[in-house]
């Protein structure tokens, strides 16, 4: 880094702002720092040629030699997000990277049409990179800039359940006991019609009962319905599994259907979680104000980055709602999420879409970053101590996994050929 902390702070003096019109692009030239963004790059990275979620990484360079990285991965829409990141260059090049809120607002508001997942993911990657730069310039991890950490032991997390038999579940319970893991997430089998048969419902209940039997009474279990169930089916299931004392049921119906979510929530004491498909704090407002969920799960790679996730956490805190962010993409977004978690008083638990045993992707992440990213120690993700997001990444290391193009996500159908949620 070419700029030490003392030199940076000396560049932060503010001069009186002259009266200018709101449309004047020079409005902020007299405030802020002398650091400026000189270049922004976007990379598509495919670990396998057929992956439906190639990583989209954003790199921002500055005139002080400080570099920031972020992640904008969007399942099934990689090329669209990469193009959107390119579109935002005119908002970012030449800007002061310390002004993260102003730049976030400019990208969101000046897009005119409100952000969906493509715009939201592009903003997410850029925002994470700006916060990475901000932390590096200030010489501290991002979670300290946000006011954390609340718990210096790290961030509690969970792995995804791998296995469907009792023997497989008990094996993972033993690994969890040895490694201090306290939480897992599983799912339910199959796809569900609007009103389904009692046999299908019994099968789903048995699958959840098997999870509890295999993992025992002391491990927390979340179950992801993945919006595969209609409100009618979900309302039955959440009532049936109350004796299992689940940590939460996730996405019992599509999250945009708030009134349906309220009907499900009213039927059961099982906590209800949702939010991975929602964009920005505005997208979560109705759920929070209505009080129909217990846990929010926004994804830092889609919802608008660190800036948006932090705001959602604050809104949820006022309403007595916990935060359990979604993270099923690459390592940069995962690491960025940990920083927000560590500074969030209503944080519950952090997802990572990995099993108790490291997989191919984790080995690649360690190859890139030099440490086992997003692997828990005694049931917690360690907090980075280096400035910014806590890692360095070289462009050259990404070339081993060239972008193989956008691949569609799974398309599933009911027996009669109608489209099914998956």
Mean of per-residue pLDDT scores for the chain: 91
Active-site residue identified among 91, 302, 326, 339: 326
Mean pLDDT over 116-138 rounds to 97
How many Cβ atoms are within 10 Å of 372's Cβ, its own excluded? Answer: 15
Q: What is the pLDDT of residue 35?
A: 95
Q: What is the pLDDT of residue 192?
A: 87
CA distances from 136 to 2, 341, 386 (A): 11, 19, 8
3-state secondary structure of 69: strand
Q: What is the pLDDT of residue 83?
A: 98
- Known catalytic residue at 326: yes
Mean pLDDT over 112-138 rounds to 96
Q: What is the pLDDT of residue 8?
A: 46
Q: What is the pLDDT of residue 79?
A: 97
The tens digit of pLDDT for each residue in 310-340 reads 999 999 999 999 999 999 999 999 999 999 9
Confidence label for 164 from pLDDT (cuts 50, 70 and 90): confident
The set of residues, in sequence order, having a beta carbon less than 8 Å from that of 72 and lying 6+ positions away, is 42, 56, 57, 58, 81, 82, 85, 121, 122, 124, 125, 126, 301
Q: Distance between CA atoms of 27 and 45, rounded to whole angstroms?
A: 37
292 pLDDT above the threshold of 60: yes
Q: What is the pLDDT of residue 19?
A: 31
For each of the domains in the chain, give its residue range(s) and CATH number, in order of start. Answer: 5-140 (3.30.390.10), 144-420 (3.20.20.120)
Q: Which residue reads 């360079």 in tokens?
A: 61
24 pLDDT above the threshold of 60: no
Q: What percent of the chain has a predicted confidence (pLDDT) above 90? A: 82
Confidence label for 196 from pLDDT (cuts 50, 70 and 90): confident
From 18-27, 244-253, 327-336, 385-394, the region with the lowest mean pLDDT: 18-27
Stronger pLDDT, 220 or 18, i.e. the higher one: 220
Q: What is the pLDDT of residue 415?
A: 86
Mean pLDDT over 115-140 rounds to 97
Q: What is the pLDDT of residue 16?
A: 34
pTM: 0.92
Mean pLDDT over 340-360 rounds to 95
DSSP 35: -
The tens digit of pLDDT for each residue in 54-88 reads 999 999 999 999 999 999 999 999 999 999 999 99
The tens digit of pLDDT for each residue in 400-409 reads 999 999 988 8
Active-site residue identified among 110, 226, 302, 414: 226
Q: Hey, what are 199's tokens?
A: 């046999």
Q: Hey, what are 63's tokens?
A: 């005139």
Q: Strands (DSSP E) along 266-312, which ranges?
A: 272-274, 295-296
Q: What is the pLDDT of residue 9?
A: 46
- Known catalytic residue at 102: no
């Amino acid at each position: 880094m070419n700029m030490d902390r003392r030199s940076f702070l000396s560049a932060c003096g503010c001069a009186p702002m002259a009266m200018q019109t709101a449309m004047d692009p020079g409005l902020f030239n007299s405030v802020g720092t002398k650091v400026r963004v000189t270049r922004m790059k976007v990379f598509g990275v495919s670990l396998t040629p057929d992956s439906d979620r190639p990583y989209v990484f954003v790199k921002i360079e500055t005139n002080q030699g400080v570099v920031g990285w972020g992640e904008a991965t969007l399942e099934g829409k990689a090329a669209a997000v990469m193009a959107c990141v390119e579109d935002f260059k005119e908002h970012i090049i030449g800007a002061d990277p310390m002004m993260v809120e102003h730049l976030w607002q400019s990208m969101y508001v000046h897009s005119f049409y409100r952000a969906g997942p493509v715009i939201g993911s592009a903003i997410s990657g850029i925002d994470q990179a700006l916060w990475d730069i901000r932390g590096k310039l200030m010489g501290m991890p991002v979670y300290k800039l946000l006011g954390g950490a609340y718990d210096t032991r790290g961030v509690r997390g969970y792995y995804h359940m791998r296995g469907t038999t009792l023997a497989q579940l008990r094996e993972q319970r033993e690994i969890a006991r040895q490694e201090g893991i306290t939480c897992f997430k599983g799912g339910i089998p199959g796809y569900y019609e609007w009103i389904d048969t009692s046999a299908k419902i019994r099968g789903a209940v048995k699958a959840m009962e098997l999870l509890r039997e295999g993992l025992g009474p002391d491990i927390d279990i979340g179950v992801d319905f993945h919006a595969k169930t209609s409100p009618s089916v979900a309302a039955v299931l959440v009532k049936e599994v109350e004796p299992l004392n689940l940590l939460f049921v996730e996405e019992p119906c599509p999250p945009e259907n708030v009134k349906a979510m309220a009907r499900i929530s009213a039927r059961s004491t099982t906590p209800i979680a949702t939010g991975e498909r929602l964009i920005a704090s505005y997208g979560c407002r109705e759920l929070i104000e209505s009080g129909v969920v217990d846990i929010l799960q926004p994804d830092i790679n889609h919802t608008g980055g660190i800036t948006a996730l932090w705001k959602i956490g604050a809104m949820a805190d006022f309403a007595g709602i916990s935060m359990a962010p979604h993270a099923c993409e690459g390592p940069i977004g995962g690491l960025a999420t940990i920083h927000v978690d560590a500074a969030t008083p209503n944080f519950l638990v952090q997802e990572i879409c990995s099993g108790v045993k490291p997989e191919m992707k984790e080995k690649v992440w360690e190859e890139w970053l030099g440490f086992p990213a997003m692997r828990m120690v005694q049931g917690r993700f360690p907090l980075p101590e280096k400035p910014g997001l806590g890692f360095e990444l070289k462009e050259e290391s990404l070339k081993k996994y060239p972008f193989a193009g956008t691949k569609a996500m799974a398309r599933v159908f009911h027996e009669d050929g109608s489209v099914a949620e998956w």
